[in-house]
Amino acid sequence: MDARVGALNAGHGGGAAAVDGGPSRITQQQEHEQQQQALQQQPQIGTWQHLLSGGVAGAVSKTCTAPLARLTILFQVQGMHSDVATLSRPSMWREASRIVCEEGFRAFWKGNLVTIAHRLPYSSISFYAYERYKILLQSVPGLDRHNDFVAADICLRLLGGGLAGITAASVTYPLDLVRTRLAAQTNVIYYRDISHALYTICRDEGVKGLYKGLGSTLLGVGPNIAISFSVYEKLRSHWQLRRPEDNTALVGLGCGSISGIASSSVTFPLDLVRRRMQLEGAAGRARVYNKGLFATFGQIVESEGLRGLYRGILPEYFKVVPSIGIVFLTYESLKRFFSGVPSDSE
């Protein structure tokens, strides 16, 4: 789910008001005016503040949830180089105890430095790109009526969120791959640090090796980010219209967590395939999935069953709520700080 966490935008809490059904015109004028007033009250900040707010929000979130993220990765790659029939049922407590006993407590943050190095540009690009894509898409015929038509408003968010996620993932993908390989290492250390991993991958697998699994990433990040943006902004708009006195930080925390669960449930199999393809040929191991993206899906289902596509979903669920919540909470707080808008507690 790393392709999702840093790309969620708590920026403009727009959203559709009540509708008569389908792409019909919004008829509750008073509610629409309240929504526009809420939009105007949102913090307005410049380019570098957007970049810094998004980057810091992603880095803080990933650092806080690094132990659960590493458990997710270790579970996802189980069965890749071992007999699936001999694997025991995944246990978060058992795996966490093994990490502490064999690798030490600090091992929960293995690869976190490269995570931050990846998350800062990823989050910055995705947050900023979402704002820019929304402005660009508003000039497209049909989408320019997004304030009046529900269908146009939803389409604007889905396209903006998906394009932002794809842009950020494409630019920063090599760092994401390195992070996966560092986090997947247990007792045998093949990659010492970020620079050594980048050099070794290029030496052993060529420059193309830095982009293994990019196809599944781009295929998943679009709907992943789009679902997160759409669910978050819809919930946030609905909540603020009916309970405008509630603390905006808590609203962002709750809505962000729900949006993370929704997107995780839909796109987790793609994330699992991405992780396994990222580890193809790592540390000189033989290739396991060498017939393409869709053949990899079939191979996993054939050897591990449908449940194999959701291996590691439990720690992911435990991770996604605080992770997404921290992203939105940090981003909203930094936007208010930079814009000079006083918080609700002041």
The CA–CA distances, whole Å, from 247 to 201, 236, 346 equal: 47, 12, 11
Q: What CATH number should be reported for the domain whose range is 45-339?
A: 1.50.40.10
Domain boundaries along the sequence of the chain: 45-339
pTM: 0.71
In the structure, how many helices (H) and strands (E) does the chain have? 12, 0
What pLDDT score was predicted for residue 152?
73
Q: What's the rounded Cα separation, in Å, for the pair 169 and 126?
A: 8
Q: What's the rounded Cα separation, in Å, for the pair 12 and 270?
A: 29
Q: What's the rounded Cα separation, in Å, for the pair 76 and 269?
A: 10
Q: Going by C-beta distance under 8 Å and a sequence separation of 6 or more, which residues neighbour residue 312?
A: 71, 72, 73, 74, 75, 76, 78, 90, 272
Backbone angles phi, psi at 9, to 5 degrees: -115, 125
Find, among 5, 7, 10, 51, the residue nearest to 248 by Cα. Answer: 10
61 token code pair: 């979130």
What pLDDT score was predicted for residue 259?
82
Q: What's the rounded Cα separation, in Å, for the pair 99 and 211?
A: 29
Q: What's the rounded Cα separation, in Å, for the pair 224 and 133?
A: 17
Residue by residue, pLDDT tens for the chain (346 residues) are 443 433 344 344 433 333 333 443 444 444 445 555 554 555 566 777 777 887 788 788 889 999 998 999 988 888 776 655 556 667 888 889 988 998 888 889 988 888 888 877 887 787 788 888 888 888 887 776 666 666 777 777 778 877 888 888 889 999 999 989 988 888 778 898 889 999 999 998 889 989 998 888 888 876 777 777 778 878 888 888 888 888 876 787 788 788 888 888 888 998 898 888 888 877 777 777 777 788 888 888 888 888 888 888 989 888 877 887 787 778 878 888 887 755 454 4
Q: Which amino acid is at 109?
A: W
What pLDDT score was predicted for residue 22?
42
Q: What angle do CA 135, 162, 267 make, to 5 degrees?
A: 160
The CA–CA distances, whole Å, from 38 to 19, 242, 265 equal: 19, 12, 31
Q: Is 115 exposed, middle or buried (0-12, 13-18, 19+ CB in 10 A)?
A: buried
Q: Do 14 and 153 touch, CB atoms closer than 8 A?
A: yes
What pLDDT score was predicted for residue 29?
45
Can you give the C-alpha Rg of the chain in angstroms?
A: 21
End-to-end Cα, the chain, rounded Å: 35
